[in-house]
A and B are shown apart, each in its own frame.
Chain A
Amino acid sequence: GENVEQHPSTLSVQEGDSAVIKCTYSDSASNYFPWYKQELGKGPQLIIDIRSNVGEKKDQRIAVTLNKTAKHFSLHITETQPEDSAVYFCAANIRNFGNEKLTFGTGTRLTIIP
């Protein structure tokens, strides 16, 4: 069926280095791609989103790139800090059997090593 795949499932990065998380999606009509961060004991929180009319969006140390042709998008975190440690989820609006819904990837557990 239509879905969103996310890689890697776990990622360890030295503090100060960059982290990249990648997602692919199957529905060519998808046009909204958010990224959520979930810290321990909390619900997911939006950190950045991108719509299909742009290829890249940046907010301080966080950036998202979108390749509509290849149907993949990536989260880039630069100059990582310990507080970046969390689980990150990508999502895309996916149409499946006539119903459209925001479908999430399986998550990436990011650990920043001090």
Chain B
Amino acid sequence: ETGVTQTPRHLVMGMTNKKSLKCEQHLGHNAMYWYKQSAKKPLELMFVYSLEERVENNSVPSRFSPECPNSSHLFLHLHTLQPEDSALYLCASSLVKLRDRYTEAFFGQGTRLTVV
């Protein structure tokens, strides 16, 4: 148990569906991340919310939409996905300090997404 909780653990959705992935942490961290893990690209950063700023990976399609209502919760809204979007979606959080920007990232167990 890392302190980062993701729901659901498994999700099967059709290409016309809209669904959301949820991530929650109560570790007092100020940065949260979405990663995509697939056989092709083992750990690919999608979005970062750090110190209340959102940083995007410009290669992420607009059918993925993140939302971070507060420092403890992170969502990934999904709509009109493609079969190639099937992957494990991992959420992570960390404590970003001004001096040491990078510190240990705590990962959730992931949501296994299958798009049919």
A89:B109 contact, CB within 8 angstroms? no
What 1/0 mask marks residues of chain A from 69 to 110 whose CB sits below 8 Å from any chain B CB? 000000000000000000101010100000111111111000
A-contacting 9-mer, from B41-49, B66-74, B76-84: B41-49
Q: A61 interface residue, CB < 8 Å from B?
A: no
| Total contacting residues, chain A, CB less than 8 A | 24
In B21-44, the 8 Å CB interface with A consists of 41-43
B90, B102, B108, B110: the one contacting A32 at CB < 8 Å is: B102
A104:B108 contact, CB within 8 angstroms? no
State the Cβ distance, B17 to closest chain A Cβ, in Å.
25
B41, B55, B102: the one contacting A93 at CB < 8 Å is: B102
Q: B92 interface residue, CB < 8 Å from A?
A: yes
Residues of B near A36 (CB, < 8 A) are 107
- Given A41-B109, A101-B55, decide whether A89 and B43 contact each other with a Cβ distance below 8 A: yes
Q: A43 interface residue, CB < 8 Å from B?
A: yes
Residues of B near A49 (CB, < 8 A) are 104
Q: B113 interface residue, CB < 8 Å from A?
A: no
Residues of A near B4 (CB, < 8 A) are 43
Q: What band does the interface of chain B fall in when counting residues whose beta carbon is under 8 Å from A?
A: 20 to 34
Residues of B near A41 (CB, < 8 A) are 109
B104:A43 contact, CB within 8 angstroms? no
Residue of B nearest to A43 (CB): B107
User: In the docked arrangement, what's the CA distance between A46 and B43, Å?
Assistant: 14
User: In the docked arrangement, what's the CA distance between A87 and B57, Å?
Assistant: 25
User: In the docked arrangement, what's the CA distance between A84 and B104, Å?
Assistant: 20
Residue of A nearest to B91 (CB): A43
Residues of A near B57 (CB, < 8 A) are 101
A45:B48 contact, CB within 8 angstroms? no
A43, A51, A89, A102: the one contacting B42 at CB < 8 Å is: A89
State the Cβ distance, A88 to closest chain B Cβ, in Å.
11
Given contacts A43-B109, A44-B107, A46-B105, 8 further A-B contacts (CB under 8 A): A32-B100, A34-B104, A42-B109, A43-B2, A43-B110, A44-B90, A101-B57, A102-B102
Instruction: Enumerate chain B interface residues (CB-CB to A < 8 A).
Output: 2, 4, 41-43, 45, 48, 55, 57, 90, 92, 100-102, 104-110
